[in-house]
Amino acid sequence: SPLPLPLRALSCGGSGGTVTGAADMAAEEEVTEDEYQAALTACQTMISGRARSAPKGPTELTWEQQFERINVYMDRLDLTEPANALSVIHVAGTKGKGSTCAFVEHVLRENGTRTGLYSSPHLVDIRERFRIDGVPVSKTVFTRNFWWMFNRLKETCEEDLGMPAYFRFLTLLGFRIFSQERVECAVLEVGLGGRLDATNVIRKPVVCGITSLGMDHVEILGDTIAKIAREKAGIFKPGVPAFTSPQPADAMEALCLRAAEVGAPLLQAAPIASWEGNGGAVALGLAGAHQELNAAVAVQLLREWAKSAPTPPVWGAAAEEELALGRLPATWRAGLAKTEWWGRAQIVVDETAVDGADTAAAPGGGGSNS
């Protein structure tokens, strides 16, 4: 039987409160390394150390109840209005969501848009999760915002709600930082699933994306690809366009069913090769054939975001004409080609020098002559 929401391939796209700004933060005295480390230590206290899949006791909150509490935390942090004022691109998926977000962010930045990118997990430094214009936030920005939130939640929530868990706290921190930094576009990568993920408290993103789906976190999301797809599709919102990579049949049907239920227009992104036009093959900064799927979704997310951008995209009318003809503008190509994402097909050059000498007087730096 036909899917409830027909899909069609695309060749040229588809149809808060007062906050402290970056300049004010920059005027503050920089934090010391000890202050930053103290914030990291306090942050670690919010890690439960308990497996997410472990059976919940009779007094423990369900995932649904924990998700509902995020809205309470946002209210007590005066974050509800600023967070929902952000112009958000929201991306879920099993594989490729981080890379897709990176493609989106690089193209926006190449075109002069002030970006905020929230991603997880971090590879080396927790500040990687919060990038402004492609750069992890400073230790001062992280520390000042961390302690403001941590202390306020301690004062207002500890007795009746308790502190939020690690990822939920960091998501709220991302909303606060992006609001303060006045980003023009906030690119949010889902942490786990979608429906009950902390990032899903945003009421109405501009556009949503679903990358390649597969079997993962089955103890939480479900033991079939259809169940997992439905959880991922939990980010769909009424009237908010959504784009997906090609999916297994069961997964695609689940996505379509959910899109139809909430009234979200859902379309499948065309292959990135369909955008070549007269410019030749589209070069990607991330290696691998799978990245072509991610780049294809990224292009559609960008096109849709531009329709309702808070300020007109700087790429201008000429670029829009190219896109309408199924060709990527030069700045879009440049953004895709320059995309880097730590830990994804990354080449690390190691120039470590090794010497087996055991004394300083030995030839070559100190050691035995053996």
In tens, the pLDDT along 195-216 reads 999 999 999 999 999 999 988 8
Cα gap 56→35, rounded to integer Å: 36
Q: Quick one: DSSP state of residue 137? A: P
Measured distance CA(39)–CA(296) in Å, rounded: 39
pLDDT band for 222, please (50, 70, 90 cuts): confident
The CATH superfamily holding the domain 22-29+78-119+184-338 is Mur-like, catalytic domain (3.40.1190.10)
- Residue 146 binned pLDDT confidence (cut-offs 50, 70, 90): very high
How far is residue 14's CA from residue 226's CA, in Å, rounded to a whole number?
26
| pLDDT score at 48 | 76
- Angle of CA points 31, 37, 41, to nearest 5°: 135
Phi, psi of 159 (to 5 degrees): -75, -45
**Angle, helices 249-262/225-232, rounded to nearest 10 degrees:** 40
Average pLDDT over residues 78-89: 97
The pLDDT of residue 51 is above 80: no
Percent of the chain predicted with pLDDT > 70:
84
Encode pLDDT of 237-266 as tens digits: 999 999 999 999 999 999 999 999 999 999
- Is it the case that residue 361 has pLDDT exceeding 80? no
Cβ contact 292:33 at 8 Å: no
